[in-house]
Each structure stands twice: as structure tokens, then as C-alpha cells.
Amino acid sequence: MGLRKPYDGTGGQNRTEPVNVEGGLRNYLLITGGYWAFTLTDGAIRMLVVLYFHLLGYSPFEVAMLFLFYEFFGIVTNLVGGWLGTRIGLNLTMNIGMGLQVVALTMLAVPEAWRSVAYVMFAQALSGIAKDLNKMSAKAGVKTLVPRHNDSRLFKWVAMLTGTKNTLKGVGFFLGAVLLEFVGFRGALLVLAGGLLLVLILTAILLPRGLGKTKAKPKFTQLFSNTPAINWLSAARFFLFGARDIWFVVGLPVFLFSVLGWRFSEVGAFLALWVIIYGIIQSCAPMILRGRHPDATTARVWAFSLVLIPVLIALALQQGMEPNRVIIVGLIIFGVVFAINSAVHSYLIVAWSEHDKVSMNVGFYYMANAGGRLTGTVLSGWIYQTQGLVGCLWWSAGFVLVAGLLSLGLRNSIAEVSRVD
């Protein structure tokens, strides 16, 4: 297959560094493996923090505030990370992300007397930077490994990367809850840090240098996208993921533990199973959509399909139906439809990005994603504390509706993007 030098219509002034694509599958598997390992720690640390600090007596809103810097710095990281990846290489930004996560895990493993709110928020800030550096690097890196205009392979690889990542995040939820129950908070963190450090060493040695690095160095002022399709998609992503986290991050696990009386391991196992199913559905999205490449219409249809699900769950709870059954069945249905939405979005942002701008566009897009998560996380704690889980569900439905309305602005802008790529 030789060397691939993508062309973006600039007369060759902004070509990426040559990439040997003969090892594309090998490098894809390395990126995926590193992303998997990181995701295990990310899911575990989230479950550890939510359950441990709730056990210490923190209110739902106070628990949500512990994630404030985690989500806020994710916004900043996604914006700057894509620009950084074009300058130093996506392999390096990925390894920096794993290194920062090891530091964050180690910081939280200090004695309990040291863990002030400010200290925990700072460690979570490092974890947020790490998570979004890793995510941006992995997803943008896939585009550099796929031959141009091979949309079928791109859709399959992006869906597989995203889906398996979320499956492993679910395993991470369960792992965090189990480690908390059997080896305690500090022991869990040290186990996670040691495992991720080993993976960091391996990927640093095996991944090629300069992945996604461009010869032309983009200016910092080029961070913000000027492509309408990317902007509309990013705005819809903000509300889509805000809708999920409004009830999933704080409200749901606290409700299961404090209202329904579930044990830590049961909460972790259930949320893990949900995310695993969610990830499997994402991985299977190409088959569910029967091999058709998603477009703007696909994004709109699936967004509006999601609106009714939190509404029906909220109504069922308000009517006094058995809450365990309502939550389990409702959350699984929500997860299936949400997974298709996420898979469609994840493909479109990569497909609609020019090769030489993929890391910057993906970074901009996931900046919006992080903003939605931040908003959803803060609202999750506040709304649950003031309006309960039903209130969280109504707000979730409203956010999904806005995401669907924003998707109307997408039209079929892919035609415009494909002409310049």
C-alpha cells in the first residue's frame, strides 16, 4: 500500500507526515489496546469517587462538584489537544494522557486526611485532561490509518473502537466497585495505577512516532472549526451527552444505593452491564444500519427517537410502577438507542473531517462533548438533590429534544466536506 500522503486541496502545503499504512491494522490494534486500558481506569475511578465520597456523607451535589474540574479541563484539553496532536504527533499525546492518569490515580491514593475537596478536584482535573487527550488521540489516529475514501472500513473501525471502549468502561465501573469493596479505596487506586503504567510503557515503545503530525504547523487561531457541518454536529453532541449524564452520573447510582438499597457491588455490576451492552450496540452499529454509511438524516432520526424514552421512564415512576423493573428495563432501552446515536456521531465527525485537520476537528467536537458532560454532571447532582430522579429524567428528555432540533441544521453538509477532503 506504500506511503499515504493525504491531500486537502492546499496545493501540498499542508500534507501530513508520510504514514506507512502497511502496518495500519497493527497500529489500530495498539491504539485500541491502549484506549482499552485507559478506559478501565477511567470507569473505575468514576465509580470509586461517586461511591466512596457518598459513603463519607457528601451530598449528591457535593459529589457532582468533585467532577467539576474533571469535566471543565476536558473542554480545554479537547480544544488544545487536537492542535497539539498535529504538532507533536497523536502517539505522544496519547502517552501523555496515560501518564497524567497514572499521576492522578497515585495522588488520590494518599492517606484520607490529605484528601480535601480542593485536592480531590485537582486530581480529578488531571484525570479529565488525561481522559480527553487519550480519547482525541485514539479517535483521530484511526483516520490516519484508513486509506482515503474507504468509508466502510472507517465506519467499522470507529464503531469498533468506540463500542469496545464503552464496553470496557462498563467493566471499569464494576472493577471500581469490586475493588472498593474488597481492597479499599487506596488499594484500588494503586492497582489501577500500576496496570496503566505497564500499558503506557508498551505503547510508548511499539507505536510509530509522528502519527497524525503535519508538516505545516497550524496556528492556535485555527482551533475553532469554520465548517458548518462540524459546528452543528458539535452543538448537537453537547446536548446529547448532557442528556445522558444529567441522570446517569450522580442521580442514578445514588438512587440505586440510597433509595432502592442496592449494595456497592450491585450498583457497580448493573451500571457496568449497562455500559457493556451500550458498547456492544455501538460496535454493532454498522450491522444494525445494514452497512449504510450514516448521514445527516440518520443523526436526526435517531436523536428524535431517543426523546420519548426518558419521558416514559419518568411517567412510569410517577405512576408508582415497581422502580427496580422500570429502571432496569428503561435504562437498557435508553442505552440501545443512545448507543446508535453516539456511534453515528462518532463516525460523522471523523468522516466529515479533512485528513490534515482531523485531530483539530475531533478535538473541537469533543470539546463540545466535554461541555455537555460538565453541564450534565453538575445538573445531575443539583436536580437529583432538589427534584429527585424523575426530575433528572425530564431534564434529560429536554436536552435530547434540543439535540434533535440542532441536528436539523446538519442537512447533508457531508457533500461540502467531501469536496475539500
Distance CA 44, CA 39 (A): 8
| The predicted structure's pLDDT at residue 349 | 81
Residue 166 CA neighbour count, 13 Å, CB half: 26
| The predicted structure's pLDDT at residue 9 | 33
| The predicted structure's pLDDT at residue 213 | 57
At 253, is the pLDDT very low, low, confident or very high (cuts 50, 70, 90)?
Answer: confident
| The predicted structure's pLDDT at residue 196 | 92
pLDDT at 319 over 60: yes
At 225, is the pLDDT very low, low, confident or very high (cuts 50, 70, 90)?
Answer: low
| The predicted structure's pLDDT at residue 16 | 43
Distance CA 21, CA 139 (A): 16
pLDDT at 401 over 90: yes
In the chain, where the domains are located: 21-211+224-420
Between CA 221 and CA 226, with CA 224 as vertex, the angle to 5 degrees is 110
DSSP, residue by residue, 254-273: HIIIIIS---HHHHHHHHHH
Give the residue with greater pLDDT, 205 vs 394.
394
The least confident of 14-28, 123-137, 331-345 is 14-28
Region 259-267 average pLDDT: 82
Give the residue with greater pLDDT, 395 vs 369.
395
Give the residue with greater pLDDT, 148 vs 393.
393
The least confident of 33-37, 322-326, 351-355 is 351-355
At 403, is the pLDDT very low, low, confident or very high (cuts 50, 70, 90)?
Answer: very high
| The predicted structure's pLDDT at residue 91 | 77
| The predicted structure's pLDDT at residue 76 | 79
| The predicted structure's pLDDT at residue 355 | 61
| The predicted structure's pLDDT at residue 215 | 58
| The predicted structure's pLDDT at residue 150 | 61
Distance CA 408, CA 394 (A): 22
pLDDT at 112 over 60: yes
Residue type, 318: Q
Distance CA 140, CA 275 (A): 23
| The predicted structure's pLDDT at residue 5 | 39
pLDDT at 307 over 90: yes
Give the residue with greater pLDDT, 201 vs 370.
201
Region 154-176 average pLDDT: 77
* Percent of the chain surpassing pLDDT 90: 18
Q: Which three cell numbers stand for residue 352?
A: 466529515
222-231, 258-267, 286-295, 407-416: range with highest mean pLDDT: 258-267
Average pLDDT, the chain: 79
Distance CA 375, CA 353 (A): 26
Q: In 3-state terms, what secondary structure has residue 150?
A: coil
Give the residue with greater pLDDT, 10 vs 400.
400
| The predicted structure's pLDDT at residue 398 | 95
pLDDT at 268 over 80: no
| The predicted structure's pLDDT at residue 21 | 44
| The predicted structure's pLDDT at residue 63 | 80
pLDDT at 124 over 60: yes
- Chain centroid offset of residue 60 CA: 22
Distance CA 215, CA 360 (A): 15
Give the residue with greater pLDDT, 314 vs 33.
314
Phi, psi of 3, rounded to the nearest 5 degrees = -95, 140
pLDDT (tens digit, 9 = 90+) per residue, 363-383?
Answer: 777 788 888 988 998 888 889
Distance CA 4, CA 22 (A): 10
Residue type, 343: A
Kindly state the helix (H) or strand (E) to which residue 20 belongs, with its residue range. Answer: strand 19-20
pLDDT at 232 over 60: yes
Domain topology for 21-211+224-420: Growth Hormone; Chain: A; (1.20.1250)
pLDDT at 67 over 60: yes
